[in-house]
Amino acid sequence: SSTDLLALKKAGSEQNKVTLLLEDGTEYAHPGKLLFSEASVDRTTGMVTLRAEFPNPEKDLLPGMFARARVVQAIKKDVVTVLQRAVTRGQGGMGNVMVIDDKNVVHPRPVTTGDMTGDKWIVTDGLKSGERVIIEGLQKAKPGAQVNPAPFEATAAAAPADKDATSSKH
């Protein structure tokens, strides 16, 4: 959105590094930079189109080549994150997670989510670092029930969140 564009501009050049992921999944060796002079906003959708410039000394980038750009919007430290699939939404859109206490009893907990980082939500309220959250088997988890939790093992395809983020135990 145009609000995000303004935030990027205010963050300064250090925050506006752009990396490219090539078609084969590898990261391009040279970081790029955003060219704000060529930014545009679609008035009907609010979508922002940005242009980035990358050095190409080895001539690896070719015209018409497909790549995905990744723009760092902010680096947030000491945040609590949970996998998106652990958060369910109620009628008003409020997020909820199922927390497991120290006696392995399930308790529903309302949470407020902020931005996403990869496949995770940043939780801004309602959850503390280290609390255990149910990731799999949510449909079977009933409030007040005692469970036998097992550590969550992410698949190799799941990318970790920003290494500065602190993930809650699963």
> Could you read off the pLDDT of 100-111 as tens digits, one per residue?
999 999 999 999
Last residue of one domain, picked from the residues 71, 96, 128: 71
What is the predicted pLDDT for the residue at 12?
A: 56
Asked whether residue 152 falls in the same domain as residue 100, the answer is yes
Q: Which two tokens stand for residue 118?
A: 């990869």
Residue pair 86/100 in contact (Cβ under 8 Å)? The answer is no
High-pLDDT (> 70) share of the chain, %: 75
Q: Rounded to two decimals, what is the model's pTM?
A: 0.53
Q: What are phi and psi of 164, to 5 degrees?
A: -80, -15
Asked whether residue 136 falls in the same domain as residue 108, the answer is yes
C-beta atoms surrounding 39 within 10 Å: 15
Specify the residue for token string 């698949």.
155
pLDDT mean across residues, the chain: 79
What is the predicted pLDDT for the residue at 55?
A: 93
Q: What are phi and psi of 158, to 5 degrees?
A: -80, 120
Please report, to the nearest 10 degrees, the dihedral formed by the alpha carbons of residues 29, 163, 23, 54 taken in order: -40
Residue with the bigger pLDDT between 83 and 165: it is 83
Taking the C-alpha atoms of residue 69 and residue 57, their distance in angstroms, rounded to an integer, is 19
Last residue of one domain, picked from the residues 71, 90, 119: 71
What is the predicted pLDDT for the residue at 151?
A: 85
pLDDT band at 158; cut points 50, 70, 90: very low
Residue with the bigger pLDDT between 38 and 27: it is 27
Q: What is the extent of the structural domain holding 151?
A: 80-167
State the DSSP H helix or E strand holding residue 32, giving kind and residue range, or none if neither: strand 32-41
pLDDT above 80: residue 56: yes
**β-strand partners of 99:** 107, 133
pLDDT band at 73; cut points 50, 70, 90: low
State the DSSP H helix or E strand holding residue 46, giving kind and residue range, or none if neither: none
Q: Residue 65 maps to which CATH number?
A: 2.40.30.170
Beta carbons within 8 Å of 118's beta carbon, 6+ residues apart: 159, 160, 161, 162
Last residue of one domain, picked from the residues 20, 48, 71: 71
Asked whether residue 67 falls in the same domain as residue 103, the answer is no
